[in-house]
Amino acid sequence: MKKLIFSIVLVLTFMQGGFAQEDLEGCKDHPLFTRMPGYYILECTQNYNQLDFYDKGGQDVKLEGTLTYAWYVFYLESGKTEPSRFQIIKNYANAITKIGGVKIYEEDGLGCYELKKNGKEYRIKVACTNNSDILLNVLELEAMKQDIAVNEMLDALNKDGFITLNILFETGKSIIQPESLPIIDQVYQLMDLDKTLKISIEGHTDNVGNAESNKKLSNDRAKSVVDALIAKGVDKSRLAYVGWGQEKPVADNRNEQGKAKNRRVEIIKLP
């Protein structure tokens, strides 16, 4: 009799959608959002990365910061009604607007939004696959912190012959972003610490775009760093620059993490 009762309860629980698919271990919702009913997280990441975003004109722009990514999959046995792509985008648009965000760009199955909250600035991208999967990207805009002291930079340069810096530039341009100017100050202090030091500033890109234009862009960006150092008082005879474009990758360009590592500025110690 007890076995029969247990079986009935088991069947009723299943019929009511009581068996929920579990999230991938370690994955959870972003604090800004609750998930739509019937979904579980198949995959997630959180790291400093780049997000392909769309501006108001629908042009692709690349933004950097702390990126939280979650891939939500609808569980067909949840007992919930599977939503349409339109319903998913509308749901997130309403949720983002409710907390003070604004729409930047929307099309079928895709929405890009910006949000300023609690002193932080976010870019949110919601995309639907051909079914009802949801790809949610929440980017907290910030510059990567160059957490290294000037004397440590000099030690690393003397030991390895080069150091890698995360200097950010305006998208597609050689203009140094304001948040990266403290790194330029550090390089100036480095040159002031060892007045015999001569360096080459070398720019690198990932493999997105045309190889020739990437090489020119990386060269222009390296020159911008040199010009900024000269403006601070470093003798130009101590400085050289070159742009390698995508010719010298240090990581796999087939994924975003690798591309982020390949977009870099290196300081090479000259004899």
Q: Are residues 177 and 218 in the same domain?
A: yes
Mean pLDDT over 114-128 rounds to 92
Q: Is the pLDDT of residue 6 over 50?
A: no
H or E stretch covering 61: strand 60-74
CA distance 68 to 26: 13
Which ranges of the chain does DSSP label H, i.e. alpha helix? 2-15, 85-98, 150-160, 181-193, 211-232, 256-262
pTM, to two decimals: 0.52
| Count of C-beta atoms within a 10 Å radius of residue 252 | 11
From 141, 168, 203, give the residue that closes a domain: 141
62-110 tens-digit pLDDT? 888 899 999 999 999 989 999 999 999 999 999 999 999 999 999 999 9
Give pLDDT, residue 102.
Answer: 95
The pLDDT of residue 10 is 37
In a domain, 15, yes or no: no
**pLDDT tens digits for range 185-199:** 999 999 998 999 999
**pLDDT tens digit string along 124-170?**
999 998 889 999 999 998 755 555 678 888 888 999 999 998 888 88
Residues 33 and 61 in one domain: yes
pLDDT score of 257: 75
- For residues 137 and 51, is the Cβ–Cβ distance under 8 A? yes
Q: Kind and range of the H or E element at 42?
A: strand 39-54
Q: Could you list the residue range(s) of the whole structural domain that residue 174 is in?
A: 150-270
> 18: pLDDT confidence band, cut at 50, 70 and 90?
very low
Number of compact structural domains in the chain: 2
* Whole-number pLDDT of residue 153: 87
Distance CA 218, CA 199 (A): 17
**Coil, helix or strand at residue 70:** strand
Crossing angle between the packed helical segments 150-160 and 181-193, to the nearest 10 degrees: 70
Q: Are residues 71 and 97 in the same domain?
A: yes
